[in-house]
Amino acid sequence: MDHLITKSIFCTLLTIALLSFTKLLLSHLSVPFPINLLALTFPLLPAIIHLYNSISNHPTDLPPGPRRFPIFGNWLQVGNDLNHRLLASMSNTYGPIFLLKLGSKNLAVVSDPELANQVLHTQGVEFGSRPRNVVFDIFTGNGQDMVFTIYGDHWRKMRRIMTLPFFTNKVVHHYRDMWEQEMDLVVHDLKNNETVRETGIVIRKRLQLMLYNIMYRMMFDAKFESENDPLFIEATRFNSERSKLAQSFEYNYGDFIPFLRPFLRGYLNKCRDLQHRRLTFFNNYYVQKRREIMAANGQKHSISCAIDHIIDAQMKGEINPKEFRPERFLEEESSTEAVAGGKVDFRYLPFGEGRRSCPGIILALPILGLVIAKLVSNFEMLSPAGLEGINVSEKGGQFSLHIANHSTVVFKPI
């Protein structure tokens, strides 16, 4: 009897806390708080108590984890920012595999190399799909891209389409001279800028221009003239807006607690508007231009960039949203080289592993190695006068970490 009274008091307090939280949330979103909600909620207390009793008394074989609260789960305890430091500290308490409940979502955390091997490799099919969320459904056409689509035929089709023009050793060898050309321009600009030698520079923007030119030359056979190029400014602004909307923690409650999703209407409309403007930008300035060039050249056209490959596949009927022809995978298999190979160290997985690993590893590693080699062989990189070191502290995001503050670095030619 005492146990039931204790739970009744707990559920009553929880209900009051939930109402207070809802009122605060609605006031933040400029939505009036429905007072009648109080009258509707308190009669439901017996049902809430019964549900809580049923859940708490139901034996399970789930991994250990912190105590969960009804409706919110562990969300109020861990917050939105599930960064690696927080998860590592929790693994010291709950073990190499533990469970977090974020609203209606279960999140199993694995922090052991052998268990990671089991999840990502041995049982890769079972764990091959990724959870979708309301914002990325907008940016990916309801999870139809290669990153968020469900593991299966469509994912294999998307991976094959993207592998041929981007992620093979043949592509790396073909574009290496172009990569080095863009990197040499960075070195040239730094050497000819006196300010860089004296007070330093935040090099992020210049490296960003280099990477955009590398990718746009690979994708569209086009490049930007400088950091002040209007198209470069527009392209970076679109990507910045998309990153902020996608990696924001402002919409998590709509994924974790579905009945709060209607309050996201304004946020999701922002995402839809951005996606429309972004696709219009790419189509007007790049895709349509490549179509016109290919049409003008006719049969004499030589495939020179990734979008040419994709447009050519569309013209041949190989890419048709209304038709799936799996036999073409076997036709293309013989000309496709492995994306990555060798033994994997499951203690260090910057690009993931298994079926859903990042195929961009074959581009990222050589580009990263080359640009670092170019900089360290041409410059001595120092902190500006008066500073003892460079601040490399990070800030969290939904899917990746970012440098909190981009530091100024002095580049002295060697």
Q: What is the pLDDT of residues 34-50, one digit of tens each?
A: 444 444 455 555 555 55
pLDDT at 403: 80
Distance CA(179)–CA(195), nearest Å, equals 26
- Going by DSSP bridges, is the β-strand pair 410-413/402-403 parallel, antiparallel, or unpaired? unpaired
CA 299 to chain centre: 39
pLDDT of residue 143: 65
C-alpha 368 chain-centroid distance: 19
Check residue 356 and give its pLDDT: 67
* Residue 362 contacts residue 339 (beta carbons within 8 Å): yes
What stretches of 49-163 adopt beta strand conformation (E)? Answer: 97-102, 105-110
The amino acid that residue 374 corresponds to is K
pLDDT value at residue 24: 58
pTM of the model: 0.70
Contacts with 315 (C-beta within 8 Å, 6 or more apart), sequence order? none
Radius of gyration of the CA atoms of the chain, in A: 26
Among residues 360, 381, 366, the alpha carbon closest in space to that of 183 is found at 366
Give whole-number Cα distances, 272 to 103, 208, 240, in Å: 25, 26, 15
Binding residues: 358
- Helix (H) or strand (E) segment spanning residue 274: helix 265-282
274, 138 Cβ separation under 8 angstroms = no
Find out whether 195 and 215 touch, Cβ atoms under 8 Å. no
**CB-based contact 401:395 (threshold 8 Å):** yes
- Say if CB 75 and CB 256 are below 8 A apart: yes
Residues making up the annotated binding site for heme are 358
Closest to 70 in 3D by CA, of 103, 105, 106:
103
Helix and strand numbers (H, E) in the chain are: 18, 6
Tokens of 182: 């863009």
In angstroms, the CA 49 to CA 8 distance is 6
Nearest to 312 by CA among 326, 299, 321, 325: 299
Instruction: Please tell me the predicted confidence (pLDDT) of residue 31.
Output: 43
How far apart, in whole angstroms, are the C-alpha atoms of residue 313 and residue 323? 13
Phi-psi region of 108 (alpha: psi -120 to 50; beta: other; left: phi over 0): beta
Q: Which residues of the chain have pLDDT under 70?
A: 1-60, 80-81, 143-149, 154, 161, 164, 318-349, 354-356, 396-400
Helix axes of 204-220 and 230-247: crossing angle, nearest 10 degrees: 100
Residue whose entry in the numeric block shows the structure tokens 């308490």: 93
Please state the φ and ψ torsions of residue 382, each to the nearest 5 degrees. Answer: -130, 160
